[in-house]
C-alpha cells in the first residue's frame, strides 16, 4: 500500500513538473538554498551523508521557525559526480529555481566546473570539495568548508619528518581527488626534505594493486602514501599486507569513515591519516571547543542514519556558516549574505574553527586536522 | 522534395522556440545540450545507420575536438577558429589512418575495437595531467566570436549550436539521397552485393568514418567553448554508449530518428530528476520497453505505423 | 625477476576474474548471438545478495547458494520479459535492450541495497602463500580453481550433453533447431539462467578480494567483454585465454611501462590482436552480421 502511495506521489510530482515547467511558486521571504551533490556514483559515500545532513538540519531549522523568520526552501540535484551534470544543475539552480545560496559540489571536479557560472551569476557558493584550487586564488563568490588536499599533504609530511622518514613512495588513483592530492604531495615534499622515490598509479575501479606495490617494494622508500577514496585504498591496504611490506602507511582524509576499516579489516591497523576531529570526537579533551558541536552532530546524525562520517560534517559547517551569515545580514540579499559569509569569525564547526577573510575563503589552519592512527580497528587520536 | 519540407518545418520550430520562450530554462539551457547531442547522434547515424558500422568510441572524436580547442587556445594562445581547424585536421588524419584496419572488423569485434579506441583516448585525457589538466579538466576558454560578434550568452549559443545542428541534419539528409548515400545503403544491406555493383565499399566506409568523426570533432570544439570547460568524463565510453542508444532508440538509419533519439535521451534525465533514487531504474525501464515493443526505433516504427494507417484509410475510402 | 614473478601471479589473479565474467558472455552468445551487456550486473547481484543474506543471519554456504539461485532467477526473468518479447529485434536493438536491462538492474540494486561498498570474508584463511619472493592469497587460488572448474563444466556441457548441444544448435540456426524438435524458447531460458548463475558465482569468488557495490558490475562486465572478444566470442576456452592474457598484459604493462596507462596498454594490445586476427585469438571468424 505504501509502495502504491509512493508511486502516486511520484506520478503527481511528475505531471506537476511537466505542466508547470517552473517548479514551485516562491514564497515572499523564504531563503532558497540550492544544492548539487554526488549522491550516487563513485563519490556517493561523500555526497550521501552531505545530503542527509542538509536535509536533517534544514528540517530542524524550519520546525523551529526558520532563520529570523525566513523559512528555508531546499532544492537538490544529484550530479552522480559528473562535472557536466554539475554545470547543468547549477545553471538550473540559478536560472530555473532562482536560489539565493548554493551549497554543494561534492567532488573537486564538480566544484571547479561551476565556479565560472556562480561568479557570473553572483550567487554565494560554499563548496564541499577538497581541492585547494577552489579557493586559491580567491574568487569573490566561492567559499569552501573541507580541509584542503594541500593541508593533508602538509600534515602527513610533518608527521614523517617527526618519525625521521626521508624517502616516500606515492600511490594514487585516477580520480580528481587522488590526482590533486598527488600533485600537492609532489609539490610539497621538497619543503619537508622528503624525496618521492616512486609515483605509482591505479584505476579506481581496479581489483588488484600488487603490481604497483611490488615496484614500490623494490625502491628504498621508507613509507607509503596513498591518496584515494572508495574501495581502492582498502584494496591497497590489503595488498600491502599480502606482499608483507612493513613500511609505515599514510592514507588521506578520503578514508576517514568506518567503512574503510570495515573493508580493509586488520590490514588497516597501523595506518595513519590526517582527518577532521569528528571521528575521534569522544577522545578530545573536554576543554576543546569543538567537542560539544561534534558530539551533538554525531548523536543527531547517528540516531537517524547510522555511523557518522566527516564528509557530512562539511555540509553541516557550510549550512550553519550560511545560517549565521543570514542572521547577521538580516536579509536574504545575495550580496549581503556573501559579505557576511566572508566575515565568518570564530565559527566552531565540525571541521575546525573557521576564520574567513577576504583573502581566505576557507578559514581553517593546520590545527583543524588531527593526526590519527588506526589501532585495533578503531581510530586513535595521536595529536 | 518531400524530405526537405520536413526539414524546413523542423528548422522553423527550432529557430522560433527561443523567440517564443526567450527565458525558458528548457529552451535556452537544456536546448544547448540537446543540439550537441543531436549533432553527435546524426553523425554517428551516418556511420551506423547508413554504413552499418557500429561504433562504441564516438565520444573520443567529440573529446579530441573539445580538448584541441581547450589546449590550443589556452596553452598556446591560438585563435579559437584556428584551434578548431587544427583539431579537425588532427582527427582527419587520425580517423583516416585508423579507418582501414578498424573497418575490416565486423560486428562485435568492430564494437570492441572502437570501444578500445575510445577508452585509450579517455585514459589519455585523464592521465596526461600536464597537457589536459587530468580529471579536473581545463576551464576558462576564450570567447568564440562570429563575424566580430562575441558569442557570450545562452541565446547566442542557442543559435550557433542550432545552426550547426541543422547543417548536420541537412548534410545527413542529402547524403542519404545522393549517389554516395545509395552506395552507403548498399553497404548496409549487403556488402558483397554492393561490391558486385562496382562500389568500392572499403573506400565508401572509410570516407564515412572520417566524415562522421569530423562532424563530432567540430561539435566538440563548439561544446568546449560553450561550456567554457572540458573534463574527461564528458567523453567517457559511457557517453559513447549513450550516443549509440540515441541512434538505435530513434531508429537506425533514419536521420530524424537520430534527432528524436537524441532529443528523448537528453530531455529524459531532466524530467526524471524528480524521481531521485528511482531515476536510474525508470530510465533503464523506459529504454527496455521502447526497444522491446518498437525494435526498429521510435521514429521509424511510428512513421511506419502512420504510413500503414494512412494507406488503410485511402484504400478504405 | 622477482618482480616479474609477482607481476605474473597478479596478472593470473586479475585475469581469472576477467575470465570468469567472460565465460558468462560466451554462454549467452552461444545460445542467441546476443552480447549481454547486463552480464556485469549478474556478478554484482550475486555478490550483493550473498552479502545481505549473510547480514540477515544465514550461513556463508547457504547464503552463497541462495544468491546464485536469486541471480539465476534474475537471468530467467531477463530472458522471459525482455529478450523473448523482442525476438524480432535486430542484434543492435537487442544490445540496447541489454544495456537498458543493466541500467535497470543497477537502479534496482541501488534501491534495494543502497550505495555502500561491502566485502565478503575469504572462503578460507587470509594468510598469503609465499612462492619464492612473490605472494598469493588463498582466495586468489579459489578464483583460479573456480574458473578452471567452470570452464571445464561449461565445455563438458556444450560438447557432451544433449541440452548443451541443443543450445548450440539454436545459435547456429534457430529455425532448423526448432524443426528438429528443439524447444528453442526453453533453451534460451536455460542459457540465460546458467549465465546469470555463473555471473553470481564469479561475484562470490571475487568479492572477498575486490569488494562490491551496486555500480561495481559495470567495470567487471566491460573487462569480461574485452576478454571474451580477445579470446574469440563464443569460445569458452577463448574466454579463459582472453581473460588471463588481458590480466597479464595489464600487470606486466603496469609493472614495466606505466601503471597510469596500463588499461590503455591493454586496449592497445587488444586492437593489435584484432588487426592481425579480426575474430579474436580462438574465434572462428564471424559471418556477416549487425
Angle between helices B31-45 and B255-272 (to 10 degrees): 140
The dihedral region occupied by B134, where left means phi > 0, alpha psi between -120 and 50, and beta the remainder, is left
Torsional sign, CA C89, C93, C97, C98: positive
**pLDDT at residue A19, rounded to an integer:** 47
Task: Identify the CA nearest to A224 among candidates A172, A276, A187.
Answer: A172
pLDDT at B177: 79
pLDDT at B140: 83
For residues A156 and B114, the answer to whether their CB atoms sit within 8 Å is no
**pLDDT tens-place string over residues C23-37:** 989 888 888 888 899
Cα A279 from Cα B31, distance rounded (Å)? 45
Interface test with B, best of C41, C100, C215 (most B CBs within 10 A): C100
Residues A57, B214: Cα–Cα separation, whole Å: 51
- What is the rounded distance in angstroms from the CA atom of residue B165 to the CA atom of residue C258? 40
φ/ψ of A201, rounded to 5, equals -130, 155
Quick one: fold of A30-147+294-364? Rossmann fold (3.40.50)
Superfamily (CATH H level) for A149-275: Response regulator (3.40.50.2300)
β A249-251/A223-227 pair status: parallel
Q: How many domains does chain B divide into?
A: 1
B132 has pLDDT over 60: yes
Give me the residues of A, 86-145, that contact B with CB < 8 A: 87-88, 91-92, 95-96, 108-109, 112-113, 115-116, 131, 133
Return the CATH class of domain C2-276.
mainly alpha
Which residues in A lie closer than 8 A to residue C135 (C-beta atoms)?
210, 242-244
Helix (H) or strand (E) holding C256: helix C236-256
Q: Which three cell numbers stand for residue A343?
A: 566575515
For residue B274, what pLDDT is reported? 76
Find the length of chain B: 317
Least confident of B201-205, B231-235, C251-255: B201-205
**A83 conformational bin, left if phi > 0, alpha if psi -120 to 50, beta if neither:** alpha
The DSSP bridge partners found for residue A379 are A374
CB contact under 8 A, B252 and C101: no
For residue range C265-289, list pLDDT tens digits in order: 999 999 999 998 888 888 775 444 3
**Contact between residue A230 and residue C122 where contact means Cβ atoms under 8 Å apart:** no
* Topology alike, domains A30-147+294-364 and A149-275: yes
- B1: its cell numbers: 522534395
Q: Which residues of C touch A42 (CB under 8 A)?
A: 215
A214 and C206 in contact by Cβ < 8 A? no
* Residues A261 and A377 sit within 8 Å (Cβ to Cβ): yes
| Closest CA in chain A for residue C260 | A201
Give the residue-averaged pLDDT of B50-79.
Answer: 92
Mutation target vs A (from C118, C134, C210, C223; most A CBs, 10 A cutoff): C210
Average pLDDT over residues B113-142: 90
Q: What is the pLDDT of residues B159-218, one digit of tens each?
A: 999 999 999 999 998 887 777 677 767 666 667 777 777 777 788 888 889 999 999 999
What mean pLDDT is reported for chain B? 87
How near does any CA of chain B get to the CA of A303, in Å? 22
Scan for cell 502516486, then name that residue: A8
- pLDDT at res. B130: 87
Residues 197-226 of C with CB under 8 A from B: 222, 225-226
If one counts every other C-beta atom within 10 angstroms of the C-beta of residue C152, the result is 12
Question: Which residue in B267, B235, B254 sits closest to B297, CA to CA?
Answer: B254
Q: What's the whole-number mean pLDDT along residues C231-236?
A: 85
What is the rounded radius of gyration, in angstroms, for the C-alpha atoms of chain B? 20
Give the best residue of B225, B231, B286 to mutate against chain A (max A CB count within 10 A): B231
For residue A136, CA distances in Å to A112, A139, A143, A155, B163 come to 11, 8, 10, 19, 39
- What is the tally of helices (H) and strands (E) in chain C? 11, 2
pLDDT of residue C126: 80
- Touching check for A10 and chain B: CB below 8 Å? yes
Domain boundaries, chain A: 30-147+294-364, 149-275
| DSSP codes of every residue in B93-136 | HHHHHHHHHHHTS-HHHHHHHHHHHHHHHHHHHHH-HHHH-GGG
Write out the three cell numbers for C36. Answer: 549481454
What pLDDT score does A25 carry? 40
Q: Kindly report the pTM of this predicted structure.
A: 0.87
Nearest CA in chain C to B117: C267
List C-alpha distances in Å: B259 to B111, B166, B168, B302: 22, 10, 11, 14
Contact predicate C151/C237, CB 8 Å: yes
Residue B135: band (very low, low, confident or very high) from pLDDT cuts 50, 70, 90: confident
What's the domain range around B177? 2-316
pLDDT of residue A286: 85
Q: Which residues contact B41 (CB under 8 A, 6 or more apart)?
A: B243, B246, B247, B250, B258, B259, B261, B262
Q: What is the reported pLDDT for B98?
A: 92
- Residue A322 contacts residue A118 (beta carbons within 8 Å): no
CATH at residue B305: 1.10.3470
Three-class DSSP category at B15: helix
* Contact check, Cβ <8 Å, C210/A203: no
Helix (H, G, I), strand (E, B) or coil at B265: helix
Cα separation, A115 vs A127, in Å, equals: 10
B101 touches chain A (CB under 8 A): no
C-alpha cell at B275: 524521481
Place of cell 545560517: A323
| A259 in reach of chain C (CB within 8 A) | yes
Closest to B32 measured CA to CA, from B141, B160, B120, B121: B160
The percent of residues in chain C predicted with pLDDT above 70, rounded, is 98
pLDDT of amino acid A334:
87
Q: How far is CA C94 from its chain centroid?
A: 19
Smallest Cβ distance to B126: which of A13, A108, A174? Answer: A174
pLDDT at residue A46 in the model: 87
C positions 221-250 inside 8 Å of B (CB): 222, 225-226, 229-230, 233
Q: Does the CB of C88 have a partner CB in chain B at under 8 Å? A: yes
Instruction: Kindly give the confidence (pLDDT) of every residue in chain A, 383 residues in length, as a single tens digit, with 9 standing for 90 and above.
Output: 445 555 555 555 555 444 444 444 444 478 999 999 998 877 888 889 999 999 999 999 998 888 888 888 999 998 888 888 898 899 889 988 889 999 988 988 889 889 988 998 999 999 999 888 889 889 999 999 999 888 999 999 999 999 999 999 999 998 888 888 999 999 999 999 999 999 999 988 888 898 999 999 999 999 999 998 888 999 999 999 988 899 999 999 888 888 899 999 889 999 999 988 888 888 888 888 889 899 999 999 999 988 888 889 999 999 999 999 998 888 888 888 899 899 888 889 888 899 999 999 998 888 888 899 999 989 998 98
Tell me whether residues A207 and C209 touch, CB distance under 8 A: yes
DSSP-assigned letters across all residues of C171-204: HH-HHHHHHTT--HHHHHHHHHHHHHHHHHHHHH
CA–CA distance, A264 with A255 (Å, rounded to integer): 11
d(CA A160, CA A248) in angstroms, rounded, equals 9
Is the CB of B74 inside 8 Å of chain A's CB atoms? no
Asked whether B181 and B194 are in contact (CB, 8 A), the reply is no
Residue B143 DSSP symbol: P
What pLDDT is attached to residue A329? 86
C-alpha cell at C225: 567483454
What's the grid cell of residue C161? Answer: 550433453
Measure in Å the smallest separation between the Cα of C114 and chain B Cα atoms.
10
Please indicate if any CB of chain B lies within 8 Å of the CB of C65: no
pLDDT of residue B2: 61
Q: How far is it, in rounded angstroms, from Cα C255 to Cα A181?
A: 23
Q: Do C128 and A244 touch (CB under 8 A)?
A: yes
Distance, in Å, from the CA atom of C115 to the CA atom of A325, rounded to the nearest integer, reads 34
Name the nearest CA neighbour of A293 among A368, A366, A381, A343: A368
Contact check, Cβ <8 Å, A205/C119:
no
Q: What ranges in chain B are assigned the alpha helix state H?
A: 2-20, 25, 31-45, 58-74, 80-103, 107-127, 129-132, 154-177, 179-189, 191-196, 201-227, 237-250, 255-272, 279-293, 298-316
* First-residue to last-residue Cα distance in chain B: 27
Which pLDDT score, from 0 to 100, does residue A10 have?
A: 52
Residue pair A87/B229 in contact by the 8 Å Cβ criterion: yes
CB A274 within 8 A of CB A29: no
Looking at residue C289, its pLDDT comes to: 39
Asked if B143 is an interface residue toward chain A (Cβ–Cβ < 8 A), one would say: no
Least-confidence region, from A157-166, B74-83, B271-280: B271-280
| Bridging pattern class, strands B229-230 and B138-139 | antiparallel
Task: List for chain A the helix, strand, coil content (%; round to 5).
Answer: 50, 20, 30
Q: Which residues pair with B146 in a beta bridge?
A: B149
Nearest to A77 by CA among A37, A117, A112: A37
B104, B249, B280 ranked by CB distance to C107: nearest: B280
Domain residue limits, chain C:
2-276
Q: Do B136 and A108 touch (CB under 8 A)?
A: yes
**pLDDT attached to residue A315:** 93
Size of interface A-C (CB pairs under 8 A): 91
Q: Pick the closest to residue A104 from A96, A92, A66 (CA basis).
A: A92
Per-window interface: B 115-154 vs C, CB < 8 A = 115-117, 119-120, 123-124, 127
- The per-residue pLDDT for A268 is 92
The partner residue sitting opposite C137, judged by closest CB among A211, A242, A262, is A242
Lowest mean pLDDT: which of B55-69, B190-204, B214-228, C160-174? B190-204
Confidence class for position B295, pLDDT limits 50, 70, 90: confident
**Percent of chain B surpassing pLDDT 70:** 94
Contact (CB, 8 A) for B29 and B187: no
Amino acid at each position: 500500500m505504501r509502495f502504491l502511495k509512493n508511486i502516486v506521489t511520484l506520478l503527481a510530482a511528475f505531471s506537476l513538473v511537466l505542466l508547470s515547467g517552473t517548479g514551485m511558486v516562491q514564497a515572499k521571504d523564504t531563503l532558497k538554498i540550492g544544492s548539487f551533490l554526488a549522491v550516487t556514483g563513485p563519490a556517493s559515500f561523500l555526497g550521501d551523508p552531505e545530503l542527509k545532513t542538509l536535509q536533517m538540519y534544514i528540517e530542524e531549522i524550519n520546525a523551529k521557525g526558520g532563520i529570523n523568520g525566513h523559512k528555508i526552501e531546499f532544492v537538490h540535484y544529484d550530479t552522480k559526480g559528473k562535472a557536466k551534470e554539475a554545470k547543468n544543475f547549477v545553471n538550473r539552480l540559478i536560472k530555473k529555481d532562482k536560489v539565493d545560496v548554493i551549497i554543494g559540489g561534492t567532488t573537486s571536479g564538480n566544484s571547479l566546473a561551476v565556479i565560472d557560472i556562480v561568479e557570473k551569476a553572483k550567487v554565494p557558493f560554499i563548496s564541499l570539495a577538497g581541492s585547494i584550487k577552489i579557493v586559491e586564488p580567491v574568487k569573490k563568490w566561492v567559499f569552501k568548508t573541507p580541509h584542503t588536499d594541500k593541508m593533508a599533504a602538509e600534515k602527513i609530511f610533518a608527521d614523517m619528518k617527526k618519525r625521521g622518514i626521508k624517502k616516500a613512495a606515492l600511490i594514487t588513483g585516477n580520480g580528481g581527488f587522488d590526482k590533486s592530492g598527488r600533485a600537492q604531495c609532489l609539490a610539497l615534499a621538497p619543503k619537508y626534505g622528503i624525496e618521492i622515490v616512486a609515483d605509482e598509479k591505479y584505476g579506481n575501479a581496479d581489483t588488484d594493486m600488487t603490481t604497483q606495490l611490488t615496484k614500490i617494494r623494490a625502491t628504498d622508500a621508507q613509507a607509503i602514501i596513498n591518496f584515494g577514496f572508495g574501495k581502492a585504498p582498502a584494496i591497497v591496504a590489503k595488498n600491502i599486507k599480502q606482499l608483507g611490506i612493513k613500511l609505515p602507511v599514510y592514507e588521506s582524509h578520503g578514508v576517514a569513515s568506518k567503512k574503510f576499516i570495515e573493508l580493509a579489516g586488520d590490514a588497516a591497523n597501523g595506518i595513519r591519516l590526517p582527518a577532521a576531529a569528528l571521528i575521534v570526537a569522544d577522545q578530545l579533551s573536554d576543554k576543546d571547543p569543538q567537542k560539544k558541536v561534534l558530539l551533538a552532530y554525531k548523536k543527531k546524525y547517528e540516531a537517524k542514519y547510522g555511523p557518522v562520517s566527516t564528509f557530512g560534517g562539511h555540509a553541516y559547517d557550510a549550512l550553519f556558516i550560511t545560517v549565521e551569515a543570514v542572521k547577521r545580514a538580516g536579509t536574504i540579499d545575495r550580496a549581503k549574505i556573501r559579505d557576511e559569509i566572508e566575515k565568518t569569525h570564530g565559527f566552531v564547526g565540525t571541521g575546525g574553527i573557521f576564520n574567513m577573510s577576504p583573502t581566505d575563503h576557507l578559514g581553517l589552519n593546520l590545527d583543524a586536522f588531527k593526526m590519527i592512527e588506526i589501532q585495533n580497528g578503531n581510530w586513535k587520536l595521536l595529536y | 522534395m518531400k524530405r526537405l519540407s520536413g526539414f524546413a518545418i523542423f528548422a522553423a520550430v527550432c529557430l522560433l522556440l527561443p523567440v517564443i520562450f526567450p527565458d525558458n530554462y528548457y529552451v535556452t539551457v537544456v536546448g544547448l545540450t540537446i543540439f550537441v547531442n543531436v549533432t553527435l547522434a546524426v553523425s554517428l547515424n551516418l556511420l551506423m545507420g547508413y554504413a552499418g558500422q557500429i561504433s562504441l568510441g564516438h565520444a573520443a572524436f567529440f573529446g579530441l575536438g573539445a580538448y584541441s580547442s581547450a589546449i590550443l587556445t589556452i596553452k598556446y594562445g591560438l585563435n579559437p577558429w584556428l584551434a578548431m581547424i587544427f583539431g579537425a585536421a588532427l582527427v582527419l588524419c587520425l580517423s583516416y589512418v585508423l579507418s582501414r584496419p578498424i573497418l575490416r572488423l565486423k560486428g562485435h569485434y568492430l564494437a570492441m575495437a572502437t570501444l578500445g579506441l575510445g577508452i585509450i583516448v579517455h585514459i589519455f585525457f585523464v592521465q596526461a595531467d600536464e597537457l589536459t589538466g587530468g580529471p579536473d579538466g581545463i576551464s576558462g576558454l576564450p570567447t568564440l566570436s562570429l563575424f566580430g560578434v562575441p558569442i557570450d550568452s545562452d541565446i547566442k549559443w542557442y543559435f550557433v549550436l542550432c545552426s550547426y545542428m541543422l547543417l548536420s541534419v541537412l548534410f545527413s539528409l542529402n547524403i542519404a539521397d545522393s549517389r554516395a548515400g545509395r552506395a552507403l545503403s548498399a553497404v548496409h544491406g549487403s556488402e558483397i552485393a554492393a561490391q558486385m555493383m562496382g562500389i568500392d565499399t572499403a573506400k565508401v566506409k572509410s570516407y564515412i568514418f572520417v566524415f562522421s568523426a569530423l562532424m563530432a570533432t567540430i561539435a566538440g570544439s563548439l561544446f568546449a567553448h560553450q561550456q567554457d570547460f572540458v573534463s574527461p568524463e564528458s567523453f567517457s565510453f559511457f557517453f559513447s554508449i549513450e550516443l549509440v542508444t540515441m541512434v538505435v532508440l530513434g531508429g537506425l538509419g533514419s536521420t530524424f530518428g537520430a534527432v528524436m533519439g537524441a532529443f528523448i535521451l537528453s530531455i529524459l534525465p531532466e524530467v526524471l530528476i524528480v524521481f531521485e533514487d528511482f531515476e536510474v531504474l525508470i530510465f533503464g525501464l523506459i529504454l527496455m520497453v521502447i526497444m522491446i515493443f518498437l525494435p526498429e526505433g521510435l521514429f521509424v516504427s511510428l512513421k511506419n505505423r502512420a504510413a500503414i494507417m494512412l494507406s488503410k484509410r485511402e484504400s478504405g475510402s | 625477476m622477482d618482480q616479474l614473478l609477482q607481476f605474473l601471479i597478479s596478472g593470473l589473479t586479475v585475469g581469472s576474474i576477467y575470465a570468469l565474467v567472460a565465460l558468462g558472455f560466451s554462454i549467452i552468445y552461444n545460445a542467441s548471438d546476443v552480447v549481454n551487456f547486463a552480464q556485469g550486473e549478474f556478478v554484482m547481484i550475486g555478490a550483493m545478495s550473498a552479502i545481505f543474506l549473510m547480514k540477515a543471519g544465514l550461513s556463508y554456504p547457504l547464503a552463497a547458494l541462495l544468491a546464485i539461485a536469486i541471480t539465476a532467477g534474475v537471468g530467467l526473468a531477463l530472458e522471459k520479459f525482455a529478450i523473448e518479447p523482442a525476438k524480432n529485434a535486430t542484434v543492435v536493438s537487442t544490445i540496447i535492450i541489454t544495456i537498458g536491462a543493466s541500467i535497470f538492474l543497477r537502479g534496482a540494486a541501488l534501491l534495494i541495497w543502497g550505495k555502500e561498498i561491502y566485502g565478503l570474508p575469504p572462503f578460507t584463511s587470509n594468510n598469503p602463500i609465499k612462492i619464492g619472493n612473490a605472494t598469493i592469497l588463498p582466495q586468489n587460488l579459489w578464483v583460479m580453481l573456480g574458473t578452471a572448474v567452470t570452464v571445464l563444466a561449461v565445455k563438458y556441457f556444450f560438447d557432451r550433453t544433449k541440452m548443451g548441444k541443443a543450445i548450440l544448435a539454436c545459435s547456429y540456426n534457430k529455425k532448423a533447431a526448432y524443426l528438429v524438435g528443439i524447444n528453442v524458447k526453453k533453451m534460451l531460458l536455460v542459457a540465460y539462467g546458467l549465465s546469470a548463475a555463473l555471473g553470481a558465482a564469479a561475484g562470490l569468488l571475487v568479492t572477498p578480494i575486490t569488494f562490491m557495490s551496486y555500480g561495481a558490475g559495470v567495470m567487471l562486465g566491460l573487462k569480461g567483454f574485452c576478454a571474451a572478444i580477445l579470446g574469440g566470442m563464443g569460445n569458452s576456452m577463448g574466454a579463459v585465454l582472453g581473460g588471463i592474457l588481458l590480466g597479464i598484459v595489464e600487470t606486466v604493462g603496469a609493472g614495466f611501462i606505466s601503471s597510469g596507462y596500463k588499461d590503455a596498454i591493454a586496449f592497445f594490445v587488444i586492437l593489435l590482436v584484432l588487426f592481425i586476427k579480426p575474430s579474436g585469438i580462438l574465434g572462428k571468424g564471424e559471418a556477416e552480421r549487425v
